[in-house]
Structure 1
Amino acid sequence: MTQDEYFSVHAGLTINVEPLADNAICPDEQAFSLEIPPLFRVASECCELEENTERLLKKFGSDDSKALIAYLGAQNTKINLLLSFVLSQQDDPNLRFTTRTFGASRLSYLSAQALSVGQQVRLKLFLNNPPAAIYCYAEVMACQPTEDADRYEIELRYSRLLESDRDLLIRAALHVQQKLLRERAQQRTDS
Structure 2
Amino acid sequence: MSADHDTTSNNQAAMMAQYQDYYAVREGLDINIVPLAADAMIPSQADFAQHAPAVFKLASELQVVDASAIAQLRGLGDAAKVISDVLNQQNRKLTALLGYLLRNEDDPDHRFQAFEYGGAGIGFNNQTALAIGQWVEIKIFLPAESAAIYCLGQVCSCEPAASATSAPTAQTSEPEYQIKVLFQRIEDSDRELLIRASMHAQTRLLKKRANERNESPQ
TM-score (norm. length: structure 2): 0.77
Query: Which residue, out of 84, 96, 99, partners 2:114?
Result: 99
Matched, 1:11 2:27: yes
Q: How many residues align?
A: 189
Percent same amino acid among aligned pairs? Answer: 36
Mapped to 2, the partners of 1:179 and 1:57 lie a distance apart of 27
Partner SS for 2:152: strand
Deviation at 1:151, TM superposition (A): 1.4
Partner SS for 1:142: strand
Query: Which residue, out of 161, 168, 173, partners 2:186?
Result: 161
Residue 131 of structure 1 aligns with an amino acid whose one-letter code is: S
Deviation at 1:71, TM superposition (A): 3.5
Aligned to 1:76: 91
Deviation at 1:43, TM superposition (A): 0.6
Aligned to 2:61: 45
Question: For residues 31 and 53 of structure 1, do their structure 2 counterparts lie closer, same or farther at Cα, with a shift above 3 Å needed?
Answer: closer
Mapped to 1, the partners of 2:42 and 2:211 lie a distance apart of 45
Kindly report the root-mean-square deviation, in angstroms, between the aligned alpha carbons of the 2 structures: 2.2
Mapped to 2, the partners of 1:25 and 1:113 lie a distance apart of 24
Deviation sequence 1:4-38 (CA, Å, 0-9, x none): 32100011222111101245463222332321112
Which blocks of at least 5 consecutive residues in structure 2 are unaligned? Answer: 1-17, 165-173
Partner SS for 1:5: coil
Worse-superposed segment, 179-188 or 76-85: 179-188
Aligned to 2:171: none
Worse-superposed segment, 170-179 or 24-33: 24-33
Could you say which structure has the larger radius of gyration? 2
Q: How does 1:1-191 map to 2 (within 5 A)?
A: 4-22=20-38, 24=40, 26-62=42-78, 66-146=81-161, 147-148=163-164, 150-190=175-215
* 8 Å CA contact retained: 1:9, 1:173: yes
